[in-house]
């Protein structure tokens, strides 16, 4: 049986009915991320992996926004 995933919108996404936001859920010890306009595409990572990803983004490893 698959349990329902409860997604939470990022507080930086503007809130409300914005369809362009990042959503987060935690299941089975993994953090799942997706964009609300592409709900079928998800990234599932551990806490450590997410920390390294965010560190790389902040450090400019993926280019400028």
pLDDT for 1 beyond 50: no
pLDDT for 13 beyond 90: no
Q: Tell me the pLDDT tens digit for each residue of 18-47.
A: 567 889 999 999 999 999 889 899 999 999
How much is the pTM? 0.71
**Average pLDDT over the chain, rounded to an integer:** 85
State residue 36's pLDDT score.
86
Judged by DSSP in three states, 20 sits in coil
pLDDT for 65 beyond 60: no
Q: For the chain, which residues make up each domain, given as ranges? A: 8-56
DSSP string, 45-62: E-HHHHHHHHHHHHTTTT
d(CA 39, CA 59): 27
Nearest-5° Cα angle at 62, 17 to 39: 30
State residue 11's pLDDT score.
75
């Amino acid at each position: 049986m698959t349990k329902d995933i409860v997604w939470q919108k990022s507080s930086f996404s503007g809130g409300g009915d914005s369809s362009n936001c990042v959503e987060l859920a935690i299941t089975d010890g993994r953090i799942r991320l997706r964009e609300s306009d592409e709900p079928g595409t998800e990234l599932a990572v551990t806490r450590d992996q997410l920390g390294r990803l965010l560190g790389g983004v902040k450090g400019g490893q993926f280019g400028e926004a």
